[in-house]
Amino acid sequence: MTQRLTGRTALVTGSTSNIGRAIAEALAAQGAHVVVSGRDEERGAAVVAGIRATGGVADFVRADLDGSPEASHALAAAAAEVLGGRVDVLVNNAGIYRSAPTLAETDAEALDRLYAVNVKAPYFLTQAVAPRMVAAGGGAIVNLGSWVARLALPVGGAYASTKAALESLTRSWAAELGPQGVRVNAVAPGVVRPPELDPDVSFSEEITVGTPAGAPGHPDAIGAAVVYLASDDARFVHGTVLDVDGGRGGVAVVAA
C-alpha cells in the first residue's frame, strides 16, 4: 500500500510528547521525513528513536518557541537544513495551558505568556516557513486549535482565546497562501487523554459525559486527522477547522 506522504518533509512543533508525538509518528508512518521539535532533548531523542525503530525517518531539532520572531525563524532555518532545504508540511502544535482559570485570576504575565507561545510563536514560524513552501511549489500547514475555542466554559477563557485566534489565523492564512499553493487548515482536538495516565475518573472523563464518544480520545486520532489534512486526499480543503472531539462541540446526547 502506497504511503500518503512518501518523499515529503514535515516539521512538528511540540512533538516530544502526547498529541505532538502522535502527530510526528503518524506523519513518519506515512513516509514523511519528520523533524521532531521541542525543548526537552531527552524526550525528543526518544521520539526519534521510536520512529526510526519502526522504519521511519526523523531527526530532532531543539527549540524554545517563546513568541519571538528570532526563535521561530531560527527553528524554520534549522529544520529546513535538516530536511534538505525544504519543509513540505508544518504542524503548529506547540502550546501551553497556564493555570489561570478565571478572569480575576489571570495576571498580565500569564496572559502574555499564553499569547507568546500559543499565538505569536506559530505566527512567526508560519511567516518563516510559508515563503519556503511557495518557492518549492506548495505545501500544507496544519494548526492545532481546540474545541474550547467555540464552546465556552466558565474557566480557562484566556487559553481558549488563544486557540480562537489560531483558528481565525487559519482562515486568514488560507485566503492569503492558498492561491500561492499552500493549503492551511486546522484540527480542533477534544478531550484527549493518553492511556498511560491515571485511569481514575477526573475532569477529562467527566467533561465527555453527554458526547457521542462518551470518553476521552486517544492522541492517535489527532495524528490521523493531521495526516489527512497534510496529504493530497485533502487537496480541495482550505481554511477548515476539523473537529476531532468525540462530538463535544456540536452534539449533545441526552440520556434516557
Q: Mind listing the pLDDT tens digit for each residue in 221-243? A: 999 999 999 999 999 999 999 99
Question: Could you tell me if 91 and 139 are in contact, meaning their C-beta atoms sit under 8 angstroms apart?
Answer: no
Instruction: Count other C-beta atoms under 10 Å from residue 190's C-beta.
Output: 24
User: Is residue 195 pLDDT above 80, yes or no?
Assistant: no
DSSP 6-31: TT-EEEETT-SSHHHHHHHHHHHHTT
User: 206 vs 22, 66, 83, 192, CA distance in Å?
Assistant: 24, 33, 42, 12
User: Which is nearest to 79 in space by CA: 20, 125, 23, 140?
Assistant: 125
Distance of CA 12 to the CA centre of its chain: 7
User: Is residue 126 pLDDT above 60, yes or no?
Assistant: yes
Q: Mind listing the pLDDT tens digit for each residue in 64-99? A: 999 999 999 999 999 999 999 999 999 999 999 875
Question: Could you tell me if 149 and 163 are in contact, meaning their C-beta atoms sit under 8 angstroms apart?
Answer: yes
At residue 2, the pLDDT reads 75
As a whole number of angstroms, the distance between CA 256 and CA 94 comes to: 40
Q: Which cell numbers hold the place of 163?
A: 486557540
As a whole number of angstroms, the distance between CA 209 and CA 212 comes to: 9
- Give 198's contacts (C-beta < 8 A, 6+ positions apart): none
User: Is residue 203 pLDDT above 50, yes or no?
Assistant: yes
User: Is residue 214 pLDDT above 90, yes or no?
Assistant: no
Q: Mind listing the pLDDT tens digit for each residue in 150-162? A: 998 888 999 999 9
At residue 250, the pLDDT reads 87
Task: Report which DSSP code applies to 104.
Answer: T
Q: What's the angle, vertex CA 113, arms to CA 120 and CA 127, rounded to 5? A: 10
Q: Which cell numbers hold the place of 187?
A: 484540527
Q: Where are the domains of the chain?
A: 9-244
Residues 109-132 have a mean pLDDT of 97
User: Is residue 200 pLDDT above 60, yes or no?
Assistant: no
How many secondary structure helices (H) and strands (E) does the chain include?
Answer: 8, 7
At residue 213, the pLDDT reads 86
Q: What is the CATH architecture of 9-244?
A: 3-Layer(aba) Sandwich (3.40)
For 96, list phi and psi in degrees, rounded to 5. Answer: -130, 155
Question: Could you tell me if 11 and 37 are in contact, meaning their C-beta atoms sit under 8 angstroms apart?
Answer: yes
User: Is residue 255 pLDDT above 60, yes or no?
Assistant: no
Query: What is the pTM assigned to this prediction?
Result: 0.95
Q: Mind listing the pLDDT tens digit for each residue in 163-188? A: 999 999 999 999 999 999 999 999 99
What rounded mean pLDDT belongs to the chain? 93
Q: Which residues are catalytic?
A: 159
As a whole number of angstroms, the distance between CA 235 and CA 226 comes to: 13
Give the residue with greater pLDDT, 200 vs 1. Answer: 1
Question: Could you tell me if 37 and 75 are in contact, meaning their C-beta atoms sit under 8 angstroms apart?
Answer: yes
